[in-house]
């Protein structure tokens, strides 16, 4: 088995699965990677000799085969692979429908654990019989996800609540899968030298242990709720600390329509375009105003009530920026919005980006591809034309002058923006990104000394 990665830290008491379990999971991940990789390489080879229409059909069939293979493996292994599949399913803006529609079922409909397992976990964590804590407890979960499942309940004082219960033993399985995944990515980087995803994956995966600590999640929820205390359109359920531990989280039960349920929004009289605008406004406030944001806005974590009022769930992955990093992100955003070449280069370098040749052209191209063209085309999300242009131009740019250092916090922001872009595509977003982002950037830029913004 591959060695563990030192940049991903787990608590000392996380158990390690037995050798047989680790080997079985490792073989499943390797087999999935091989099926997907070989399938696409075969299609790439055969499409040299067929018409464009036939080529499109072949790729669609391979997309469906690969997505189904990942779905089946994720259901079998659970844990980390389900989280990866959930992320893929949010990218309706850039990925084929075959991937999105196949994996979308994993957002909140993962096969649940038996009630007896959940009862034992709760009683072990709280140190009390289930009936002494909850007057009522629904045996059927209202949601089941990658690391935990949620049950509706009622406390003895009458408060309705949602109880999030971490699956027993999931910490050790996730730890094993992280090792396996990083080794597979190492092999893929050797096969496809232009697409080494290990740095990005390692940076993204290092936050996984935080999601396994529900006390950490409760702290995040309370902090973000406080930041939006004066905004009635922003809702974070209250946490009931006296009935919560590291592996059990009891919170206020708040109901709403899933943000990607467009038909449900319409039935509730909620304007999907207003939802898209409110979503972008609130994330701009979190990132550019507060420097502390929900870092996992997939469809299962956001509900909507009339207003619209957005309900945010699952704060296991939230990020607090140092003030200097937030200011750096604002400077970069402002520079791109105003097409200031020198300021864009300076902002990238101050954030910690480094290229092999120390040439600014790679950084300028990335700025244009990631945000500049979206703004100039007045798009609220990356459409097919932008994605195709990105896929064609970025590999060439990186081959000529590869990026050798990327600040980890930027990768997390980029992940969030990708998830928001996918939601924007589903909601047919008409958000004016320039008009939405600029006020936040102007406020922070105006607070800086004149010499710093020149």
User: Which sequence positions are flagged as catalytic?
Assistant: 296
Antiparallel, parallel or unpaired: β 148-155 and 160-166: antiparallel
Structure tokens at 315: 């704060």
State the helix-helix crossing angle for 408-426 and 272-284, rounded to 10 degrees: 170
Antiparallel, parallel or unpaired: β 148-155 and 143-144: antiparallel
Token pair 């990942």 is found at 70
CA distances from 165 to 13, 60, 62, 153, 403 (A): 18, 38, 37, 12, 41
CA distances from 10 to 16, 255, 353, 397, 435 (A): 11, 33, 28, 36, 42
Residue 303 contacts residue 254 (beta carbons within 8 Å): yes
Contacts of 416 (CB under 8 A, 6+ apart): 283, 287, 293, 294, 295, 297
- The Cα–Cα gap between 284 and 304 comes to 18
Burial of residue 78 (CB within 10 Å: 0-12, 13-18, 19+) is buried
- The Cα–Cα gap between 229 and 396 comes to 47
- The Cα–Cα gap between 346 and 25 comes to 45
- Side-chain half-sphere exposure of 127, counting CA atoms within 13 A: 4
Count CB atoms within 10 A of the CB of residue 405. Answer: 10
Burial call 251-273: b when 16+ CB within 10 Å, e when fewer? bebbebbbbbbbeebeeeebebe
DSSP 149: E
């Amino acid at each position: 088995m591959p060695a563990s990665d030192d940049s991903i830290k787990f608590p000392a008491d996380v158990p390690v699965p037995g050798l047989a379990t680790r080997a079985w999971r490792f073989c499943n991940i390797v087999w999935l990677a091989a099926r997907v990789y070989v399938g696409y390489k075969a299609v790439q080879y055969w499409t040299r000799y067929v018409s464009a229409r036939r080529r499109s059909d072949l790729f669609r069939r391979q997309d469906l085969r690969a997505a189904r293979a990942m779905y089946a493996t994720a259901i079998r292994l659970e844990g980390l692979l389900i989280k990866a599949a959930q992320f893929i399913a949010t990218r309706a803006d850039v990925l084929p429908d075959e991937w999105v529609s196949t994996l979308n079922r994993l957002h909140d409909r993962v096969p649940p654990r038996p009630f007896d397992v959940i009862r034992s976990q709760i009683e072990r964590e709280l140190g009390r019989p289930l009936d002494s804590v909850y007057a009522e407890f629904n045996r059927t979960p209202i949601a089941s996800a990658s690391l935990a499942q949620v049950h509706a309940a009622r406390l003895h004082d009458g408060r309705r609540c949602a109880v999030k219960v971490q699956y027993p033993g999931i910490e050790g399985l996730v730890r094993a899968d992280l090792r396996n995944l990083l080794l597979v990515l190492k092999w893929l980087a050797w096969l496809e030298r232009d697409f080494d995803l290990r740095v990005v994956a390692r940076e993204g995966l290092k936050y996984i242990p935080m999601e396994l600590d529900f006390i950490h999640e409760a702290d995040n929820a309370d902090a973000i709720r406080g930041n939006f205390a004066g905004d009635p359109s922003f809702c974070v359920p209250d946490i009931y600390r006296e009935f919560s531990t590291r592996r059990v989280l009891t919170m206020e039960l708040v109901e709403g329509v899933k943000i990607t349920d467009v038909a449900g929004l319409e039935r509730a009289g909620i304007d999907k375009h207003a939802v898209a605008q409110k979503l972008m406004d609130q994330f701009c406030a979190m990132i550019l105003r507060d420097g502390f944001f929900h870092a996992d806005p997939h469809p299962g974590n956001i509900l909507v009530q009339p207003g619209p009022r957005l309900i945010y769930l699952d704060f296991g992955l939230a990020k607090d920026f140092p003030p200097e990093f937030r200011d750096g992100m604002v400077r970069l955003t402002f520079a791109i919005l105003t097409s200031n070449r020198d300021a864009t280069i300076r902002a990238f370098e101050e954030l910690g980006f480094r290229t092999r040749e120390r040439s600014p052209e790679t950084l300028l191209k990335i700025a244009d591809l990631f945000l500049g063209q979206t703004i100039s085309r007045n798009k609220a999300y990356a459409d097919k034309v932008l994605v195709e242009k990105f896929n064609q131009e970025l590999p060439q740019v990186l081959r000529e002058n590869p990026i050798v250092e990327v600040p980890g916090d930027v990768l997390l922001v980029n992940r969030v923006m990708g998830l928001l872009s996918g939601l924007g595509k589903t909601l047919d977003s008409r958000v004016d990104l320039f008009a939405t982002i600029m006020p936040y950037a102007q406020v922070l830029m105006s607070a800086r000394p004149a010499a710093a913004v020149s």
